[in-house]
Structure 1
């Protein structure tokens, strides 16, 4: 991807190096555990009759949820509210574009800016206003503004509560080395997929998903697959825009398709379990993820064609 001379987004907050210093990040971290594990141990040793209730509340607080590329232990159907988390001013804490000097951070900032340009224009076609999401770069784990404590082990994820995408940049290398999807546009696909979840949030798709999943818990996995495939469609739509802007290199689309294949439920389960459990799928098969990315590219983001909830997938 020809990105070096492109505009970079100002909607980036860099928390890398802060590690697990936020409340909630202490569970299982460091030599002595941390605040989360210490509080639980204190409650376990206490004799109060309400200690188990308090432990439950603490765990709910520490283990939040978002919509992740890989699934992990997060859930996009959580009810989100204002957690009271106040982010530090980006101009004062390495969050502005001018202070991000590493190549990976600058690259992600550029991709985010390109998605901003595309979705602003696409929303205007439908007489809608696109509210730009924030990209938070972090290391190991960080507190979100509505989805609890986010951890890099879950992969990149989107939090509807604060309308932010969270990425541990180490996933850039993990995508190539662990998942067999090298190349800068493979990572661009990852970010554009998470931005696709932001589009769903703005259009009300996530709210509709939540309501239906709560009414019919047995259909939750299938609904989640449809939600994720739609985000892949939106990623493909942005890729078409980037291609038309003349900023893609030869082989970039193939890199994105390989990334989509690598994070398919069936591929991940075969590698980790040695077999496949279709009823447990939450993101779609490798073939489905590739197909819906390709559809988004083909139809240039047409919202009617994006309706994964009323089409065969």
Structure 2
């Protein structure tokens, strides 16, 4: 991606130094990965696993305490600000032309380890996430290293896709889709709720593709050869089937919450190909 000419978003808060939280207890990366997998596949609060590991190590779970270091201005934060800034301008264009209204941009928080959110304490083990009540995307940039080294999905567009997917959840929230999803899921069994979650996540993938397509239309220099392929590779790398096979050696379809690798790539590609938000109705689709 060529982001040199992109204006940075003013809606990014960097808590990595001054406003984040740190959780004590000497937890290793292996526990974090297990906690992430449990949260991702089975809806288990990752803090349940992390706190349990602390007890086994003889360390009682500690309450998060504020950090004191100053926020860091680095290449990673600059990248995030520029990508988010582009999503703001792109979705503003889409909202004005499609809905004849302004786009209320989300906030994005950079953090390390843990941070307070309107959805509870956010943990790095959860991976990037969007919190509807405070309309904020949360991301620990160490996730990008995990995406590259563990899942083989490196590249700047792969990283931008992660942000665009979470912004896609914000678009769902603004359009009232998330509220309808939450109301419907509350009346469902776990298995049916997971199936509905898959449709929500695939739509966010499609919205990420719409962003990429429209952004390219607005700035032909933004997307470089191979960028879309990086995004598709990232979507395939974090499909439920692939992650389950890697983490537990078997696939449990009833536990899917985000969609298979093929499904995630299909809906991301659909958004990229059409640039049309109307083509992202995963909830009415007969086949995903």
Same fold flag (TM > 0.5):
yes
Q: Report SS of the residue matched to 1:128.
A: coil
> Which residue of 2 is the match for residue 221 of structure 1?
194
RMSD over equivalenced CA pairs, Å: 2.1
How far 1:207 sits from its partner (Å)? 0.5
> Which residue of 2 is the match for residue 280 of structure 1?
255
Query: Residue by residue, what CA displacement relative to the aligned partner does 1:257-312 show, whole Å, maximum 9, x if unpaired?
Result: 00000110001001101110011000000000000001111221332x21100102
How far 1:193 sits from its partner (Å)? 0.1
- TM-score normalised per structure 2: 0.81
How far 1:101 sits from its partner (Å)? 3.0
| Counterparts in 2 of 1:238 and 1:10: CA distance versus 1, 3 Å | same
| Counterparts in 2 of 1:165 and 1:72: CA distance versus 1, 3 Å | farther
Query: Residue by residue, what CA displacement relative to the aligned partner does 1:206-229 show, whole Å, maximum 9, x if unpaired?
Result: 000011111223420010000000
Question: Greater shift after overlay, 172-181 or 214-223?
Answer: 214-223
Q: Which consecutive residues of structure 1, in runs of 5 or more, have no partner in the other structure?
A: 32-67, 76-92, 95-99
> Which residue of 1 is the match for residue 127 of structure 2?
155
> Which residue of 2 is the match for residue 50 of structure 1?
none
> Which residue of 1 is the match for residue 237 of structure 2?
262
CA separation in 2, counterparts of 1:74 and 1:227?
Answer: 20
Which of residues 75, 78, 95 in structure 2 aligns to 1:106?
78
Q: Which consecutive residues of structure 2, in runs of 5 or more, have no partner in the other structure?
A: 27-38, 47-69
Question: Greater shift after overlay, 129-138 or 293-302?
Answer: 293-302
Which of residues 204, 211, 228 in structure 2 aligns to 1:238?
211
> Which residue of 1 is the match for residue 92 of structure 2?
120
Query: Residue by residue, what CA displacement relative to the aligned partner does 1:242-265 show, whole Å, maximum 9, x if unpaired?
Result: 322121121100000000001100
The alignment status of 1:136 with 2:140, answered yes or no, reads no
Which of residues 178, 199, 202 in structure 1 aligns to 2:171?
199
Moved over 6 A (4+): 68-72
How far 1:6 sits from its partner (Å)? 1.2
> Which residue of 1 is the match for residue 274 of structure 2?
299
Q: How many correspondences in the alignment?
A: 248
Contact kept, 8 Å, 1:238 with 1:301, in 2: the verdict is no
Q: Report SS of the residue matched to 2:186.
A: helix
